[in-house]
Amino acid sequence: MHQPYYVNLLTQETDYPWVRLHGTKDYLDMLQILGKYPKIKQTFNLVPSLLEQIEDYTHRTIKDKFLELSYKQAKLLTLEEKEFILNNFFSINPDKVIAFSPRYHELYSKMKAGKEFTEQDFLDLQVWFNLAWIDPSFRESLPELKRVVSKARFFNEEDKRAVLDKHLVILEEIIPAYKEAAQSEQVEVTVTPFYHPILPLLYNTNTAKEANPRAVLPKVNFSYPEDAKAQVDNAVEYFQDKFGSKPLGMWPSEESVSEHILPFIIKSGIKWIVADEAILFRSLKRKKRDTELLYQPHLLKREEGELNIIFRDRNLSDLIGFSYSNWKPEHAVDDFMKHLEETAKAFVGKDIFVAIAMDGENAWEYFINDGHDFLNLLYARLSESKLITTITPSQYLKKFPPKFEIKRLAAGSWIYGEFGKWIGNPQKVKAWEYLAKARKEFQEVLNSDMRLGINDKLELAWKQMYVLEGSDWFWWYGEDPNGSFDKLFRMHLSNFYRILNKEIPDYLNYPI
């Protein structure tokens, strides 16, 4: 479960509602569905940058542009605000979500045809955008929402407030629900480095060459191992504060790993990590896929201590993440169970561990009914299976410690076993260069008398730097459809210079 850090640290404003909207649609219902199937053990990974922003909403300290324009009375909207709403309030899957609401689809068709919207149209759109992002289970179970859904159109301002107020109520339940679940035998909760950085690249951007010798590197090298360590330590500390105990497992951001970052993870007290199968076979220098090696944990024995590592089955994970949304739920579950049962039969008499690891939020928007039909059927079939048992990694490792060691862990991520998604094209490289220059200036300030001038802002400066080290800005460079992530990166970087009382470089005024 992950969202990048959208909030402007100096104003507490955000132009992006994705933490709130995914919060109402994807996080709480995943636990609630699971609650109906006590035999299913599952692991949820929570990224602190997401949890921190959920808390910003629940503490009412965040100004969300989408939320403010939703609350504003339709009759008071300016022309500019109406244009913003028309451009942004259809931001959800048109085929799997909008098409299933006749009124929302009617408004969508009207917008596509360029027809003029009435005041009632804008009010209905304000309601439907925020209603559609609420999970179907809440729309069916909460009386206030059920009433609005059945009304369907001709909403009034009271209907709208009922929907928007429920957003914050749902958000308030997320962290307590995961805390309670983490104390059960059914759920393991794990963590990611705080602001979702690509740890090997924070250690040294030259690491990209280890994974792909043809990788194009920035002209200014970024190498701050202490930042990689801080992202790990801060995440473990934050997790302990929220959940009352240290996490046993860690999902390194984007399953990106390298030999260099292992000491930081081991010293933090983490017992196991997850990576992609490509990293296993590269580490063992195997050219062919070997499921006997894949379907078991491995040990990383290092000077600093020991760390277990599990590797996900990429094919099975991607079937759920990217393929099954286009299938009928029963056909998808049949296919998935067939894969697992054939695997179980191929290893008769042996205990094997098949790791399914995937994005916890984005997939479900592409499934009918937000994935409920698929998940309910899958959990029911797994509960009945005589060949398959679900288990959390920590539970499995307690029973079956690793038999094999990996002497040197290959560098790479879940995407092609390398880092090309975050470094290599001209835009990504330039972003790293901008960041390296800023980090160097920060180091100069920290090492000089200038530090005295910003001592009261030092904590904020560090936070802003750690936010800038997040993976998402680099992911989108070169393929950012509307430039929103470029805008966010330059906003965060400009704020960093403001916090240091330094002049903002002119190049930050222009899109990368």
Look at residues 405, 434, 464 and tell me which one is the last residue of a structural domain: 405
Give a yes or no: residue 218 inside a domain. yes
Detail the DSSP E strand segments found in 96-248: 187-191
Give a yes or no: residue 69 inside a domain. yes
Helices (H), 59-156: 65-71, 79-88, 102-112, 119-132, 136-141, 143-151
Give a yes or no: residue 369 inside a domain. yes
Same-domain check for residues 278 and 307: yes
Same-domain check for residues 31 and 169: yes
Q: What is the pLDDT of residue 450?
A: 85
Same-domain check for residues 399 and 276: yes
Q: Which of 25, 7, 26, 10 is nearest to 64 (CA)?
A: 7
Q: What is the pLDDT of residue 71?
A: 98
Give a yes or no: residue 454 inside a domain. yes
Give a yes or no: residue 234 inside a domain. yes
Look up residue 438 and give its two tokens: 């800023």
Q: What is the pLDDT of residue 109?
A: 98
Q: Which of 50, 20, 8, 14 is nearest to 195 (CA)?
A: 50
Same-domain check for residues 357 and 252: yes
Same-domain check for residues 129 and 203: no
Q: What is the pLDDT of residue 453?
A: 86
Look at residues 176, 207, 226 and tell me which one is the last residue of a structural domain: 176
Q: Domain count for the chain, please give it.
A: 3
| Residue 78 CB neighbour total at 10 angstroms | 9
Residue 80 structural domain: 13-35+48-176
Q: Which of 480, 465, 466, 469 is nearest to 425 (CA)?
A: 480
pTM beyond cutoff 0.85: yes
Same-domain check for residues 444 and 500: yes
Q: What is the pLDDT of residue 452?
A: 85
Question: Three-class SS string for 385-447?
Answer: CCCCCCCCHHHHHHHCCCCEECCCCCCECCCCCCCCCCCCCHHHHHHHHHHHHHHHHHHHHHC
Cα 156 to Cα 492: distance, rounded to the nearest angstrom: 38
Q: What is the pLDDT of residue 410?
A: 98
Same-domain check for residues 197 and 171: no
Give a yes or no: residue 5 inside a domain. no
Q: DSSP readout, 10-66?
A: TT-EES--HHHHHIIIIIHHHHHHHHT-TT--EEEEE-HHHHHHHHHHHTT--EEHH
**How buried is residue 279: exposed, middle or buried, by Cβ count under 10 Å (0-12/13-18/19+)?**
buried
Q: What is the pLDDT of residue 481?
A: 85
**Which CA distances in Å does 188 have to 46, 181, 370, 396?**
11, 8, 23, 12
Give a yes or no: residue 344 inside a domain. yes
Same-domain check for residues 214 and 274: yes
Same-domain check for residues 104 and 226: no
We report the CATH number of the domain holding residue 300 as 3.20.110.20
Give a yes or no: residue 126 inside a domain. yes
Cα 278 to Cα 43: distance, rounded to the nearest angstrom: 21
Which ranges of the chain have pLDDT less than 70?
none
Same-domain check for residues 164 and 212: no
Same-domain check for residues 338 and 487: no
Look at residues 405, 437, 471 and tell me which one is the last residue of a structural domain: 405
Same-domain check for residues 260 and 352: yes
